[in-house]
Structure 1
Amino acid sequence: MATTTQDAPLAAATALVEKAKADKALRPTIAGFFDEATFTVSYVISDCATKEAAIIDSVLDYDAASGTTGFESADRIVEYVETSGLNVVWLIETHAHADHLSAAPYLQEKLGGKLAIGADIVRVQDVFGKMFNAGSDFERDGSQFDHLFKDGDTFRIGNLEGIALHVPGHTPADMAFLIGDAAFVGDTIFMPDFGTARADFPGGDARQLFQSIRRLLSLPRETRLFLCHDYKAPGRDVFAWETTVGQQRDENVHVKDGTTEDEFVEMRTSRDRTLSMPNLIMPSVQVNMRGGRLPEPEDNGVSYIKIPVNAVGRPAK
């Protein structure tokens, strides 16, 4: 699959991978932290030479029945960062997750770093700000984050070079982050035996998702892909979250080489009609659109999560 001359960010990402293949010092050190309660993988990416690091897609523990939060998952990351002597410079979200709450503000307080997400978070904030009737006090300009990445934006983690790629479809704001020879792809794609992400959330689009995935799969075959989730495909007994572009192109059950866009859209749309909403979608979106912060406390000092009735998903049978 050739890189088009019009896609300058993809060409730059490809060049980063090639540089990292030639120089091991440009490959990141990666630690994954799996949260089985939400099937989410968080990552600490670091440069061994400078000890600078980034944290991607952290998890705040949340018990829906009691409405209580906890920090066990986040504290595993804190312990790793401190034990390894790392200096966190970035706290990155690949998108506004609908299946877990972000722990980024907690980690920022503990470890520092700039909180960042894709620039199209403003579209998500507009849609869900209205859905949850968040009021005029809720800013819909992305100001809850320290930095908004646009397609092709570059960044650094010590000596490591990174580039942000806009990969909409799952949501309009999804981003993948290529660091050295490793791409952190959020919810765009899963392990080859499980397939791809749903595209039926507000602003999602199956055709756009196909195009975003094929864009990612235009990177060199050796590019390592790190996924945000794993649910263990039928017949597989262990969780897994690392694959390669080559493996995905050869084996992905939804979008391997030879799959047409129309075939994918038909499959994805039909499959999405059968899926229930994520268990934590209501608290997750309300918190994550605020950069991982709870809604402002009311006059009794308590924060509340709103549950809009008959506004999302299919009616109960």
Structure 2
Amino acid sequence: MAIQVEAFFHQDTSTLSYIVYDQDSKEAAIIDPVLDFDYASGQTATNFAQQLLDFVSKQHLSLKWILETHAHADHLTAAQYIKQQVGGQIAIGGGITKVQDTFQKIYNLAGSIKTDGSDFDRLFSEGDTFNLGVYTGQVLATPGHTNDSLSYVIDGHAFVGDSLFMPDAGTARCDFPGGSAAILFQSVQKLYALPEDTLIYVSHDYQPNGRELAYVARVAEHKSTNVHINTNTQEAEFIQVRQTRDATLGMPHLILPSIQVNIRAGHFPDAEDNGVSYLKLPVNLVGTKPQ
């Protein structure tokens, strides 16, 4: 029996979280779990994460891994909440140390945040493997969107984070600190070298032109129809398209709170002397000023 995949869509952030599991051993991984967060009130909730946990319970799964494709800028991770409830090792790409170093400067967090990746249980690098029952997952380093971006390939299923969107949406932006359209072009070539029937699962779907939700397409479909990067796309052409588009994009709504939590593997900053945890908001530093 093939590895099993269950997708969950977080409507507020257009994020896909996945549960991947071996039906026989019941060993499972959760990829990119989301914590509900209301920016206006500063309130968190675990409604969406509980959907993941309910599925784990219903299927009698044993959670081995909580896999982050990268430190997302558009949602807060629910990794710590899930680990507290059912266990599992939290893993991310080794490039997270570069991301931590970059953002501890932006948020002026020197001395109050670790920049060695040790908040995570495992830092993956290119070529690393992990097990889910009888299946071996392979790790591909696919930076470009961010320094720490990874793709996880398990039994013909590739979970690529933001390196690719669906073919009609192309790729994610490359203008965050540490991002590079040239590097992303090379990372996509690595994904396109996978067998053509490999299923590519994306982390976001913004449903362009109002179409129905979609989150999986074969490598062959991307190579023939991806609107930003197909087999006929030259590197210089992709860089120009990507940089031109990125120049028009505003900052993600939740980037300032989410990064502070996600580079800590889902931990919030330590509570202050009143017992409350606070997230910082840098003024006139990130992004562009409103016109």
With normalisation by structure 1, the TM-score equals 0.91
1:115 partnered with 2:90: yes
| The one of 93, 110, 113 aligned to 1:138 | 113
Q: Once the two structures are superposed, what CA deviation does each residue of 1:91-134 show, in whole Å capped at 9, x if it has no partner? A: 01000000000000000011111011001100000000111111
1:96 partnered with 2:71: yes
Match of 2:62 in 1: 87
Query: For residues 137 and 191 of structure 1, what CA distance do their matches in structure 2 show?
Result: 38
Query: For residues 127 and 133 of structure 1, what CA distance do their matches in structure 2 show?
Result: 10
Query: For residues 155 and 86 of structure 2, what CA distance do their matches in structure 1 show?
Result: 23
Match of 1:225 in 2: 200
What pairs up with 1:182-197 in 2 under 5 angstroms?
182-197=157-172
Alpha-carbon shift at residue 135 of structure 1 (Å): 2.8
Query: For residues 47 and 112 of structure 1, what CA distance do their matches in structure 2 show?
Result: 17
- 1:44 is paired with a residue whose SS is strand
Amino acid at match of 1:169: G
Structure 2: which 5+ residue stretches go unaligned? Answer: none
Query: For residues 163 and 131 of structure 1, what CA distance do their matches in structure 2 show?
Result: 33
Q: Once the two structures are superposed, what CA deviation does each residue of 1:214-257 show, in whole Å capped at 9, x if it has no partner? A: 110111110001110000122x4211101110000011000011
1:264 partnered with 2:229: no
Query: For residues 111 and 43 of structure 1, what CA distance do their matches in structure 2 show?
Result: 16
Amino acid at match of 1:186: G
| The one of 228, 231, 240 aligned to 2:214 | 240
Amino acid at match of 1:70: A
- 2:248 is paired with a residue whose SS is coil
Query: For residues 70 and 56 of structure 1, what CA distance do their matches in structure 2 show?
Result: 19
What pairs up with 1:178-217 in 2 under 5 angstroms?
178-217=153-192
Structure 1: which 5+ residue stretches go unaligned? Answer: 1-24
Query: For residues 290 and 247 of structure 2, what CA distance do their matches in structure 1 show?
Result: 14
1:64 partnered with 2:39: yes
1:126 partnered with 2:101: yes
Match of 2:17 in 1: 42
1:283 partnered with 2:257: yes
Match of 2:287 in 1: 313
Alpha-carbon shift at residue 299 of structure 1 (Å): 1.1
Amino acid at match of 2:181: A
Q: Once the two structures are superposed, what CA deviation does each residue of 1:151-189 show, in whole Å capped at 9, x if it has no partner? A: 100110111111110000000110000011100000000
Query: For residues 113 and 222 of structure 2, what CA distance do their matches in structure 1 show?
Result: 40
Match of 1:172 in 2: 147
- Give the alignment's Cα RMSD to 1 decimal: 0.7
1:249 partnered with 2:227: no
Match of 2:5 in 1: 30
Query: For residues 141 and 58 of structure 1, what CA distance do their matches in structure 2 show?
Result: 22
1:53 partnered with 2:17: no
Query: For residues 112 and 245 of structure 2, what CA distance do their matches in structure 1 show?
Result: 38
| The one of 106, 110, 115 aligned to 2:81 | 106
Report how many residues are paired: 291
Alpha-carbon shift at residue 314 of structure 1 (Å): 1.1
Amino acid at match of 1:176: S
Identity of aligned residues (%): 47
With normalisation by structure 2, the TM-score equals 0.99
| The one of 279, 289, 298 aligned to 2:272 | 298
